[in-house]
Structure 1
Amino acid sequence: MKTNTKSFAGKIIAGALLLLTIPGFAQTTTAAKDTAQIRPFHVNVPEAALTDLRQRIQATRWPAKETVIDRTQGVNLDQIQTLVKYWGTDYDWRKAEVKLNALPQFITKIDGLDIHFIHVRSKNPNALPIIITHGWPGSVFELLKIIGPLTDPEAYGGKASDAFDVVIPSMPGYGFSEQPKTTGWGPDRIGKAWDVLMKRLGYNHYVAQGGDWGSVIADAMGRQKLTGLLGIHVNMPATVPPNIAKVLQSGGPEPAGLTAKEKAAFKSMNYLYTKGGGYAGIMVTRPQTIGYSLTDSPVGLASFFLDKFNDWTYSGGNAQKVLTKDEILDDITLYWLTNTGASSAQLYWENNTNNFNVVEQRTREITVPVAVSVFPGEIYQAPKTWAEKAYPHLIYFHEANNGGHFAQWEQPQIFAEELRAAFKTLR
């Protein structure tokens, strides 16, 4: 399909200008001072931006089909073409907007950046406040299904005393939060910003939770001796012992004396080091380079993300067995419309470490109680023996029977039950 480049560029510019009219959507270009002001936020993406997306999808130039019958070369051509065809014809972003706009959303400026967040209070006045952080290539969309079970536990098999007030922010450079203009926005700085947010909302005592980058940020908060932080829960814990990390880094053989679960964890981590970590390698070293592809090509963005959804869901390699096409595309489309392919990758460059390594994540410096849930489809299943050594104040460890890296998204009921149990003693 031929595209008139002049009219195409004009539509892109028009769409960008329209985006700037959305309250809270525009990114500030001047260094405004922080205030305690919290502004309501409503999503309403201009139709021009959606039209541009569909036109770009139609103009896709496809590579040749993979030369293998499995997924060892990446996302299969048939799978991505089927998903993208649906994306360009039947997918409806407006339904995603309805999901978001049905929830109380806000923007507030912290440390010079506008931060987008969802804040849902429970009807229970004694609810425990919790801030939950998403990861990459996820977003607030991966956390929406746990809001009901956490804020209204009685409607989902829990007790009134299990209730949480839920705060779900978009990380800087992700979703509707502002993109950093300078370096320095790593997990430590985000963790401090989250503490400011919770205090600004009036919560003097709260807990923090996270998976993927959310786990790294929760760990950082646990080290920071934040007044009022009662404890943290992570579902991608940093438990790989230093001696194991050295072997993995050097490509050495499996160490002797490992238990069966430790052997399984070593095998999974070895795969990540040798074959499964290419996505992170490019973002850690060249986020801007990969960012051009993620910014300019909808199919480039979708295939990069789908590869990880396939790998990291508890689905046998096909994310659509546990997530719907619409759910997957809600997340991908959010990245596209907010132009955050490059800015989200920059977090990897900022935190150029191994997020599973005890030493690099400094878990032994965490001073608050720690709870860990391990899911069978996670990148690796952290053994309890490693978790006990990694987290000196471990108060809860449980292996769930379903769910993967995106457990909040895949199995919201199970995940909510994990949080109820994890924080029971901290209420």
Structure 2
Amino acid sequence: MEPFTVNIPETVISDLKNRLQNTRWPGEAEGAGWNYGTNETYLKGLTEYWMNEYDWKMHEQQLNQHPQYTVRINGILIHFQYIRGKGPDPKALILTHGWPDSYYRFHKIIPLLTEGEQSFDLIIPSIPGFGFSDKTALSSGEVADLWKRLMTDILGYEKFCAAGGDIGMGVVKALASKYPEVMEAVHLTDVGYPRGQEDPASMSEDEKEFAQLVQQWWYSEGAYAMVHSTKPQSIAYGLNDSPAGLAAWIISFINAGASPEMIETAFGGRDELLTNIMIYWVTQTIGSSVRMYKADASTLWGGAQAPQKTNVPAGIAVFPREAQFPEEWAERFVNVASFKKMNEGGHFAALELPQVFANELRTFFYSA
């Protein structure tokens, strides 16, 4: 383990501003709004703020306020935050982000989960291919192998908890499936989606309705995932070269789970949105991050055995602006010990509703 500090050269920031200034705007259809993707009027306003008001150095200092490290596991450099809980007997909890976010997803809940009697030792890594970890795209199962070694071999925990959503969901499910002997409990905000391989006769009416909703969503909003899973390299060139293009692609996905007026608040705020985008930009990891979809797709369609359901207790929190799957769908994949339909929030609940999300994690893990 080596201590790590985020320290981006000023030349990178100057280059970013020059690229933003020289953006070649494509124009958009009259009255398009957000129906064709990221709205150009909105994006121009965001890039103007990005160039002239957003303060990266201030947010860089924020990124450095908690201890962080790098360690090489199986030849891959892993970046992670490691914050010790202040309670008498903190539980070890590894938090795994998704796409298009980063380890920064969890920055607001760190103080909420490390204080008090029921506290946690928080381990918050950057998935390989993301942020300050190596630019190596791995499948969710391969990431789970690294997390298990990080938690047991490097940090010395005999048992630990894990939580995640989106891509992080796949990693957490793989941990529970492959390493149940070291998993105390897991928490998820989604459990995966129907892929057309399920036997309809085995599905409840609620599951069939859920499958139809997912299919409709896939046709209207799923283009990003199809591109990532099939031709990630083709899109990487433009996204790695144009900060405005990178922002447009990321925001287009965030908009899929929120109304246009909520884009920034759904991600915690304008500065949070830009700081997350900046992590992709300064590390040049957008290409390697989207290749993870290809890695997972290759595993899924390559005939690899699907993760097996285990007896590790699982807590499920379904936020209202997420796909509303029924409990019986979750029970196909995990041992459901708690299933809650939350009252508010969406895909990035740890940023949007940090207190609600932290309370949910604490309540589940200290009762599991």
- Given the alignment, which residue of 123, 129, 142 partners 1:167? 123
- 8 A contact 1:238–1:363 mirrored in 2: no
Partner of 2:103: 140
Corresponding residue number in structure 1 for 2:55: 92
| Superposition pairs of residues 78-117 of structure 1, within 5 angstroms | 78-117=41-80
Give the conservation status (yes or no) of the 8 Å contact 1:239–1:387.
no
Distance 1:268 1:360 in 2: 27
Query: How far 1:146 moved relative to its partner?
Result: 1.1
Corresponding residue number in structure 2 for 1:319: 263
2:180/2:310 contact within 8 Å kept: no
CA shift in 2, pair 1:64/1:134, >3 Å? same
- Classify the secondary structure of the residue corresponding to 1:352: helix
Letter in 2 for 1:224: K
Write the mapping of 1:13-412 to structure 2, written as runs, cut at 5 A. 38-152=1-115, 154=116, 160=117, 162-180=118-136, 185-199=138-152, 200-238=154-192, 240=194, 258-259=205-206, 263=209, 265-313=210-258, 315=259, 318-322=262-266, 323-352=268-297, 362=306, 364-378=308-322, 380-391=323-334, 393-412=335-354
Encode CA deviations 1:200-224: one digit per residue, 9 max, x unaligned. Answer: 1121110111111110000011110
- Is the CA contact 2:315–2:339 (under 8 Å) kept in the aligned structure 1? yes
Amino acid at match of 1:223: S
Distance 1:257 1:147, change over 3 A: closer
* Separation (CA, whole Å) in 2 of partners of 1:257 and 1:177: 42
Q: Aligned partners of 1:364 and 1:421: how far apart in 2?
A: 26
SS of the aligned residue for 1:365 comes to coil
How far apart, in 1, do the equivalents of 2:142 and 2:250 lie? Answer: 26
C-alpha displacement at 1:239, in angstroms?
5.8
Question: Which moves more between the two structures, 69-78 or 206-215?
Answer: 69-78
**1:140-195 deviation per Cα after TM superposition (whole angstroms, max 9, x unaligned):** 1111011111111x4xxxxx1x2111100000010000112xx7x21111101001
SS in 2 for 1:351: helix
Deviations 1:97-139 (A, max 9, x none): 1111110011011110111000111111311100000000000
How many pairs does the alignment contain?
A: 364
CA RMSD of aligned residues (A): 2.5
- For each residue in 1:365-397, what CA deviation from the matched residue of structure 2 results, as whole angstroms up to 9, or x when unmatched? 33422211100111x112123223443x21111
AA partner of residue 408 (structure 1): A
Q: Secondary structure at the match of 1:102?
A: coil
- Structure 1 residue runs of 5 or longer lacking an equivalent are 1-37, 155-159, 248-254
How far the C-alpha of 1:66 sits from its partner, in A, is 2.9
Query: Contact 2:309/2:333 (CA < 8 Å) preserved in 1?
Result: no
Query: Is the 2:180–2:312 Cα contact (8 Å) retained in structure 1?
Result: no
Q: Is the 8 A contact 1:236 1:405 kept in 2?
A: no
Q: Conserved in 2, the CA contact under 8 Å of 1:134 and 1:211?
A: yes
Instruction: Check conservation: 2:193, 2:214, Cα contact below 8 A.
Output: no
**Residues of 1 paired with 2:364 and 2:299: CA distance?**
25
| Whole-Å separation in 2 of the counterparts to 1:287 and 1:339 | 14
Q: TM-score, normalised by structure 2?
A: 0.92
Partner of 1:415: 357
- 1:353, distance to aligned residue in structure 2 (A): 7.0
Q: How far, CA to CA, are the matches of 1:60 and 1:274 in structure 2?
A: 30
Give unpaired runs (5+ residues) of structure 2. none
On the 8 A contact 1:376/1:403 being kept in 2, the answer is yes
SS of equivalent to 1:65: coil
**Separation (CA, whole Å) in 2 of partners of 1:106 and 1:133:** 16
Q: Is the 8 A contact 1:127 1:163 kept in 2?
A: yes
Partners of 1:388 and 1:116 in 2: CA distance = 33
Aligned to 2:185, what secondary structure does the other structure show?
strand
**What is the deviation of 1:318?**
3.2
Structure showing greater radius of gyration is: 1
State the alpha-carbon separation in 1 of the partners of residues 260 and 18 from structure 2.
33
**1:166 and 1:65 mapped to 2: Cα distance?**
44
Distance in 2, Cα, partners of 1:230 & 1:81:
47
Following the alignment from structure 1 to structure 2, what is the Cα–Cα distance between the partners of residues 319 and 235?
19
Q: Distance in 2 between matches of 1:406 and 1:268?
A: 21
Contact 1:216 1:361 in 2 (8 A): no
Are 2:265 and 2:352, in contact at CA under 8 Å, matched by a contact in 1?
no
Q: Percent identity over the alignment?
A: 35
- SS of the residue 1:165 aligns to: strand
Secondary structure at the counterpart of residue 329 of structure 1 = helix
> Structure 1 residues 256 and 46, CA, compared in 2 at 3 Å: closer, same or farther?
closer
Provide the TM-score with structure 1 as the length reference. 0.80
Which secondary structure state, in structure 1, belongs to the residue aligned with residue 181 of structure 2? Answer: coil
* Alpha-carbon separation, structure 2, partners of 1:362 and 1:410: 32
